[in-house]
């Protein structure tokens, strides 16, 4: 996908822009390896809310301006190029952008669900931008803002009604960036002085939309690893000190015939009691802390029991290892030396 911007001196009217857009689409569609080509006023996952306005059902004027929806223009095979499914109705045709064509729109599933929760939206009338529009299609949701942000209510208008911003979307049967030079030549064959901008792929756009989150989660992961290491060192230190304080007791137990597994088990049980208490307190506190990180979670519940269970298992495993080292040292206590101490 890429953008182009026509100066007003070359495209002073809507008809000029429409003719140019149609010719660009026609030239690109002829390129080898191109499956679909379409136009829109913005791209998915662009990091911006974009254009928006109030929309309401025409048959309910009392609730007018009750819902804010984003909007874009669309033309050609825009939805096919992005792989957006058509749930009801049809896509736009060139006739929809004719000068005296009826006002029609396509809405996404999120908007249909809010305005017509238990009804068929196809053929219904909406009030938008001081005009009445007929719904001719219902399409799947597109994540306009970011990949990890749920789709907003959104609607699409024929190109004639919003031709001022243009993004060309191409679905290719070959490596997308391998068509870069051909796409430039196709546009410049219509206007040799018109450059194209922001040439990229949808995969690159999706990756860029998660860049900030990826950096943040990497830092959180590093802090968590440091915290886990400090916890292990702390547990080891406490257990080592406890074993040192109980050297005489352990020596007596060994002298009286306590087996080595029994001694190890004794030390581990004492250590795990503290760990279990810490995990219990941490599990309760995590419900409050989850509110602080809820905005950073994607497709994951902030109180997912599986996640809490996995964290507890990891902490127990680390604690077992931290307790096992002093426990193993306790089995090496010489009973004679221990009995002579103090």
**Average pLDDT for residues 214-241, to the nearest whole number?**
82
| Same domain membership, residue 271 and residue 181 | no
How do 131-139 and 86-89 pair as beta strands? antiparallel
3-state secondary structure of 58: coil
| Same domain membership, residue 245 and residue 203 | no
Q: What is the pTM for the complete model shown?
A: 0.69
| Same domain membership, residue 239 and residue 104 | no
| Same domain membership, residue 36 and residue 23 | yes
Output the average pLDDT for the chain: 83
Picking from 156, 186, 209, the residue at the C-terminal end of a domain is 209
Using alpha carbons, select from 77, 78, 82, 140 the residue that is nearest to residue 111.
140
Report the alpha-carbon angle 199-3-211, nearest 5.
Answer: 55
> Tens digits of per-residue pLDDT, 21-53?
999 999 999 999 999 999 998 888 776 655 678
| Same domain membership, residue 282 and residue 164 | no
Q: Rounded to an integer, what distance in angstroms lies between the CA atom of residue 120 and that of residue 89?
A: 11
| Same domain membership, residue 182 and residue 40 | yes
Domain span at 282: 212-340
Tally the residues of the chain. 342
Q: Rounded to an integer, what distance in angstroms lies between the CA atom of residue 188 and that of residue 184?
A: 6
Picking from 209, 230, 255, the residue at the C-terminal end of a domain is 209
187: left (phi over 0), alpha (psi -120 to 50) or beta: alpha
**Average pLDDT for residues 226-246, to the nearest whole number?**
79
| Same domain membership, residue 239 and residue 191 | no
Whether residue 198 is predicted with pLDDT greater than 90 in this model: the reply is: no
Confidence of residue 340 (pLDDT cuts 50, 70, 90): low
**Average pLDDT for residues 329-333, to the nearest whole number?**
71
pLDDT at position 208? 76
Q: How many domains does the chain have?
A: 2
> Tens digits of per-residue pLDDT, 87-113?
999 999 999 999 899 999 999 999 999
**Average pLDDT for residues 259-272, to the nearest whole number?**
79
> Tens digits of per-residue pLDDT, 119-145?
999 999 999 988 999 999 999 998 877
Whether residue 292 is predicted with pLDDT greater than 70 in this model: the reply is: no
Confidence of residue 211 (pLDDT cuts 50, 70, 90): confident
| Same domain membership, residue 226 and residue 85 | no
| Same domain membership, residue 216 and residue 186 | no
Q: Are 39 and 123 in contact (CB under 8 A)?
A: no
Whether residue 155 is predicted with pLDDT greater than 90 in this model: the reply is: yes
Whether residue 242 is predicted with pLDDT greater than 70 in this model: the reply is: yes
Confidence of residue 294 (pLDDT cuts 50, 70, 90): low
Picking from 209, 225, 248, the residue at the C-terminal end of a domain is 209
pLDDT at position 151? 83
| Same domain membership, residue 199 and residue 84 | yes
């Amino acid at each position: 996908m890429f953008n182009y911007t026509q100066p007003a001196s070359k495209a002073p009217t809507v008809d000029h822009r429409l003719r140019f857009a149609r010719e660009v689409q026609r030239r690109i569609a002829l390129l080898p390896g191109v499956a679909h080509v379409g136009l829109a006023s913005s791209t998915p996952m662009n990091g911006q809310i974009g254009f928006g306005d109030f929309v309401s059902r025409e048959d309910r004027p009392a609730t007018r301006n009750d819902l804010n929806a984003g909007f874009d223009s669309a033309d050609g095979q825009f939805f096919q190029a992005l792989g957006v499914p058509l749930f009801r109705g049809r896509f736009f045709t060139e006739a929809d952008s004719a000068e005296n064509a009826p006002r029609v729109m396509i809405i996404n599933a999120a908007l249909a669900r809010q305005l017509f929760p238990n009804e068929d939206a196809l053929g219904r009338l909406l009030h938008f931008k001081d005009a009445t529009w007929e719904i001719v299609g219902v399409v799947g949701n597109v994540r306009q803002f970011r990949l990890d942000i749920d789709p907003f209510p959104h609607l699409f208008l024929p190109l004639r009604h919003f031709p001022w911003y243009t993004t060309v979307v191409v679905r290719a049967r070959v490596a997308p960036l391998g068509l870069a030079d051909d796409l430039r030549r196709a546009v410049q064959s219509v206007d040799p002085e018109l450059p194209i901008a922001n040439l990229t792929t949808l995969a690159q756009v999706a990756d860029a939309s998660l860049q900030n989150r990826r950096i943040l989660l990497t830092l959180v992961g590093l802090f968590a690893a440091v915290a886990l290491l400090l916890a292990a060192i702390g547990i080891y230190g406490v257990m080592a000190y406890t074993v040192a304080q109980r050297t005489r007791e352990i020596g007596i137990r060994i002298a009286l015939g306590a087996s080595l597994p029994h001694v190890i088990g004794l030390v581990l049980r004492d250590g795990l009691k503290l760990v279990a208490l810490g995990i219990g307190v941490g599990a309760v506190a995590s419900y409050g802390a989850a509110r602080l990180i809820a905005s950073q979670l994607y497709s994951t519940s902030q109180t997912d029991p599986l996640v809490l269970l996995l964290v507890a298992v990891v902490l127990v495993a680390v604690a077992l290892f931290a307790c096992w080292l002093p426990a193993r040292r306790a089995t090496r206590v010489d009973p004679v030396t221990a009995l002579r101490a103090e």
